Structure 1
Amino acid sequence: MLDVFMLSRIQFAANITFHILFPTITIALCWLLLFFKLRYDRTGNTAWMAAYRFWVKVFALCFALGVVSGITMSFQFGTNWPGYMEKVGNIAGPLLGYEVLTAFFLEATFLGVMLYGSNRVSNRLHTVATALVAVGTSLSAFWILALNSWMQTPTGFEMRDGVAYPLDWAAIIFNPSMPYRVTHMLLASGLTASFFVAGVSAYRLLKGDRSNEVRLTLKTGVYLAAILIPIQIFVGDMHGLNTLEHQPAKIAAMEGVWHTEKGAPLQLFALPNEQTQTNDYSVSIPRGASWILTHSGDGEIKGLNEFAGEHPPVMPVFWGFRVMVGMGLLMLLVSWSCSFQLWRRGHVATLWQRVLVTMTFSGWLATLAGWYVTEIGRQPFLVYGVLKTADAVTTTASGNVLFTAITYVLVYIVLIVAFLHTLFYLARKAVSSDVKPLETTAKEAKL
């Protein structure tokens, strides 16, 4: 039988897993919408406006699902984790409030203008509304990530009678991991949105859409992904170095380092065994982990043995990190291959269009893997070094938590199926109703 602690963790994990899917798209997708609108304003090419009108519907759908799941997640701070707000509510509460006041109201107010105002307000005002919503989505991400970063690397506060009180809001907001975490997440959103746009555009091409709109959005998604992925790899390396400094137990779990050692190998494949504190079936590169993390083949990496049992579970952190990195390398291969084809031939071959369709939600997989590494890697702490997760859990009967957890999961399954159905319905409808037959050249027919 699972106790209330594990059930509460499972319920919150299910909620954050579903919720994060949609902000990961909307944060960057709104900036792509602004790009489409600015290109239309500058060139007068109606294909850009057609792209805007299709993708603003998808944005609204993602925004709605993100808001709904975000509200239920915030309720769980009180229902499942009352100790969290009791201990650190003086810091978490204002940061969440800033997100609502400076970001959510901005998004919600001007989203209506984006959706329904193109024929009711001036073109310039409509463009401004799109820009404000884009700013709002990024502001929202900033405040949420500032809070999450503070939970990972808490600074700027003092404890009085077991309660955290803020001393320096600048130190709280701009804590040691915040710049890396915000940059890493914004780039992750950019990659998620770019593959999302490229994948749906490739799907429309395969369904027979030969409009200029879908060609432009495919190119935009592919080129953006090709630009962002090497930047993300560099930022990810910097983020890892920051984590090594402030959360060495997480790094030890990510790399499967059980005992402090110099010249630690890079584990490409292994099955971490917590009972024997070994990596079974290991395939590794000698000194690789030390080279990456300390930039020295003889660099020392602290092992899990240094943390007296207060370290995260190794298996999910170890494999979550490898899934994230593996998806990143796959994104690099696909985006650069498709970009090369666009540069040389002006189109993407049919085989690679199918590859792009399979990569439509690759950003989701990479983002979820990264979030699992981040959140599970902080355990056993809710606020690193300050508040243990077990000390914040509710005293509600486990049966109540089990019932609500099952209910959440069932509702989320229905919603994700409905989302996918609606998304591809919109794509097929765009092909059948918005695309006028065009004479194609032999070269275009290859698309």
Structure 2
Amino acid sequence: MISSNNNHSNIAEKRHQQQNSSFDPSNLSDLPCVERKVFIAFKDQLYLKIKMPKEVGNDQIHMITAPGSQFFCSTAKGLILRSDAAENNTIETIIVPTSEDFANDKTKVKFLLAGYYHVIAIKESNKIYVHVLSENSQYGKLEKPTTSGVEPFSLVATKHIIMDGQRITHAVCGTYSTIVVLDNRYIYIAGRVEQQLTDFTPFTVGTGYPIIRNITAGYGHMIVQTVNGDIYVMGMNNYGQTLSVTSSNVLEKLPSIPGVVNINALRLSHLTCYTTNNLFMINGYVGHDNIGGFETVKSYQFSKHVDYAHDLRMFGGFTSIVSFNPRTRELMSCGSATNAPNTPYNIMEKLKVQYAENVELANYIDSHTVIDVACGSSLIAVMMDVIRNNTLLINNLLKMKRYATHELTHSSETVPFHDVLIIHD
């Protein structure tokens, strides 16, 4: 049995010292996505299956994200696709042309992220590329500045922050910001998290550089969880989204929340969600109406009792919230936005009803599980793939072993101990 609580600091320190290890994260790449499909709902809440352009061939969707009202995804072979709502309840999907730097970088995309006006792709080379939808300096500075317009997925200047041998282990986009963590410790922020930063600026967590477990960002706030269980927040707090902390320019430690398991700032929103073993709590602005199915605790705070709430995965955008319960396969959406109305609904059930006449797709929905969800301001995208119990179990145990023996430094491959689910056939 592997212990998740003992010797955390020793494990973290040794992992930090082994940043030049020979471990190849590609050995633990994502599961094969031969049966992966994505369903997108725009304002009318009709979930349409995304169709790949003919030029893509048998390539498969790898990662998904959504800025404002568009959908982006990367493929296993490194293409970037964009989808928009078209006429007659259809989705138009195109291949996004990329800069020469992006095309020449043959490493895999390991993070695909979006703010409201920018999309970020970070490759295994630890180079950052930006697709600018509106110029707000939310991504730092370009390696090759130009006055003739920014090419899609142009190289971002990072040589002044990423030294030889360092890796980007966590990355996230807020509405107007890009945040990266190097070697699980060192946080750099560009853009606006309450204050405007025109280039990547270092931030400490408390008085030092603890090992980061998770980092998330919303409209103007961000939340950091360390492996020791401490929670730090920063940014605007107009709607209680940073709970009791009001600091706007430093990461301040949050008073202990009894039983908290996960806490996330939801992208593109003034929202923070956290879970305990049996409680799903929402703090922040969700529109003028209450969220259906949730009990109002006080202004801008809602709660709901859920068995095994610690298993919930949380997503959101604008004023919508989506939660996925892997035990029950419930994918619930609610909020006050056009893509998630005030009356909550189960996306999985909606998909099954919508595609009931298409036996093949209906069977697919019944026999596959949710891999990821991307929420924009007016869309919800759901990525599904086949349930491979044995493969998931083996991969999770292998990741746990490498994590515990200090060999794992690539965060997208890290499975926190409490997130490992043992599945019996």
- Whether the TM-score (by the shorter chain) exceeds 0.5 is no
TM-score (norm 1): 0.31
Greater per-residue strand proportion:
2
- Structure 1 or 2, whichever has the larger Rg, is 1
Greater per-residue helix proportion:
1
- Name which structure has the greater RCO, CA cutoff 8 Å, separation 6+: 1
